[in-house]
Amino acid sequence: VQLQASGGGLVQPGGSLRLSCAVSGLRLPNYTIGWFRQAPGKEREGIACSQRSGYRTDYADSVKARFTISRDTAKNTAYLQMNNLKPEDTALYYCAAAARGLCSRDGSHYRFWGQGTQVTVSS
């Protein structure tokens, strides 16, 4: 099983990025997907999840109304659309997959993890 996160980069405050999480070795509809981030010196934060089937999502208050999690089952890829980015969004972003059905932003819920993609928000 591999999860390949990509799409990070340097963006100005107020800008947008879309992160991708390409999944191989498992079928996306059968897995809950979570996005996490970790800034230097801070604990990992679960910011978004998409329950398997994709109908239920959940967001941390810090990103609600700015970030959107989605999935494309044909491409077996999950996405995190990030709008109105702020300097405090700067972090290493990770995607993760869990066979458990519940949507959770708790990292212990997830078995499979991708490598991180760096997002830097700065003028």
Cα–Cα distance measured from residue 117 to residue 27, given in angstroms and rounded to the nearest whole number: 22
**Residue range 6-49, pLDDT digits in tens:** 999 999 999 999 999 999 999 999 999 999 999 999 999 999 99
Question: Which has more pLDDT, 54 or 65?
Answer: 65
Residue 101 has pLDDT above 90, yes or no: no
pLDDT tier, 86 (very low <50, low <70, confident <90, very high otherwise):
very high
The pLDDT score that the predictor gives to residue 102 is 86
Q: What is the pLDDT of residues 21-32, one digit of tens each?
A: 999 999 999 999
- To the nearest 5 percent, what fractions of the chain are helix, strand and coil? 5, 50, 45
Give start and end residues of each alpha helix (H) in the chain: none
Alpha-carbon gap, residue 33 to 13, rounded angstroms? 27
Helix (H, G, I), strand (E, B) or coil at 64: coil
Partners of 80 in the beta sheet?
19, 69
